Structure 1
Amino acid sequence: MEAQPPVIRAFGAAAIAEAAVLIRAGGIVAVPTETVYGLAADARDAQAVARIYAAKGRPSFNPLIVHVADLAAAEAIAVFDADAHALAARFWPGPLTLVLPLRDRAGIASLVTAGLDTIAIRVPAHRAIQALIAAADAPLAAPSANASNGLSPTRAEHVAASLGARAPLIIDDGATEAGVESTIVAGRTILRPGPITADMLGRVLPVAPGTTAHVSAPGQLATHYAPAKPLRLNARDREADEWLIGFGDVTGDDTLSSRGDLVEAAAALFDALHRADASAAARIAVAPVPDDGVGVAINDRLRRAAHR
């Protein structure tokens, strides 16, 4: 017997109420944020969080981001210093995740932090996940709503295609705005580039890109964000068996931005990769993208996607 397809509900009060019932019962729900669609569960419920890992096939050592309603809710879970307060004041609600010390007796399931003494936390700006946080009255662990190492979803149909019945309910509120996952900062180190760029952060605090010896935040696995097909980067011409994703003056079967607009490219990135993966071509090629501003995040995702 074939598994039932996921239920997709248009965003609204009824859909959020239905989703909140599932969350409170220990279930999982796919919900849009301003970055990508997330697969959400109550971050205090270890079994619910385990359902996220099971649905995604996610490695147990890769932590999850916890989404909360506001700064006060974040401070009940994590220990903030002056730097964290400064970043939160400037960029929350929004696509910035802070990696901070986990507060004693915070009530967060250890599976969320992968056993670490830090937690990745953010206050999202999107109306759908904020409505679900309020209706469920819970902090939500919500990694991207796709199979692990697959393409991150920017539309409800991407979630359905990647997870199928493993995402029993999907809240559909259209395409996400940013198109790439949140920027992650630990202290004054950028662990993952994203919509909040280094230049934007630098206007608040001196920050620098960095790496860690262990996985302390989502998106640090080398093979994250990979399509099924081989991917060639910095391509200016299409080879015979390739689907070429263009940028700027490099035209192809698709384009991230014919105008060379990096923000437009970021929003289009995963849509374009999904289309390429679904095409008849055996391989994917992507045109060069400038490595500045949000282009750093785009290239980060593409390098991970090309790593095999």
Structure 2
Amino acid sequence: MKKFMNDIEDIVSNILEGLALAYPDIVRLIPNSYVITRKEFKNPNKVSIISGCGTGHEPAPNSYVGEGMLDAGVVGEVFTSPTPDQILKAIENVPTKNGVLLVLYNYTGDRINFRMALQAAQQLGVKIDFVVISDDIATEEISEDKMIKRGLAGGVLVTKIIGAKAEQNASLEELKEIGVRANKNTATIGIAANGTTIPTAGFKGFELDDFTVEYGVGAHGERGVRQEPIQTADVHVQEIMPKLIAKLDLKKGDKVALLVNGLGGTPQSEFFIVARKAILMLNDEGIILEKAFVGNYFTSIDMPGFSISLMKLDDEMAKLMQQRANTIGLKVV
């Protein structure tokens, strides 16, 4: 394994220290923690938005701390949920006057740990609620169990919607409602050319030959729902896009946001090839592309591959998607 890092025990703290040192105008690192918050809270009356997940999904979540998105981000060790104590520390370091909304991804550890932190915050008198990201639709091909629908890159779009509405001083109840609505109207499918190298393990979670891809991968290097032969970019997009469109029941004249996301080990140039075909297919269906994001937004360390996310936008969500955001990982001007 070849990685540009120091001691494996220091990987998370080194990442967070580097982030805070590089962007002191936007974020700060809470001492002795795995918590990143905004540098300053210019509107202490707004509901605070916190999201978290394991390390390895950079730029998520901490690079989305800033105007128009998160008030704080919290991480765990590599591909491991933040601990309840770390999540509670994030809650304690944001304004709580009008409440806190937690945005978490649908994995067992995250659900357990965030719920424990939520209960602890409630005991401290904090008004708090949560939204669970579950945009993965590939798993629906093998099971009807909604609990296995993983949270993937579409969570970035959901966070954008929630964060934008929070800037309008929406109530906790209003933010919960629009978060649930945004998640329900978001669908993602990912595809990978190989597994991811987990630094703490020193080897890939799985390996594929040069002629095979993994369809329906998750965000932690886990296998997808099946393997299939590698095809041209257009052929893979032609497989994925109709499923996303059908899942969201998109019709001519509907508005969408598109996220073409890298999984960590694929060059940016290939994302634009994927985006090209996805946008042409939307145009062919008469579906209106309101906003597109192309790049690494929710990765799986160094996994070569991509995911495509679509979010169906109503009029309110379309305006929120275009609203200003100024974070390290996502900017809308």
Fold shared, TM-score > 0.5 on shorter chain: no
Structure that is richer in strand per residue: 2
Q: Which TM-score band applies after superposition, normalised by the shorter structure?
A: under 0.3
Please report the TM-score for the alignment, with normalisation by the length of structure 1.
0.28
The structure, 1 or 2, with the larger RCO (C-alpha pairs under 8 Å, 6+ apart) is: 1
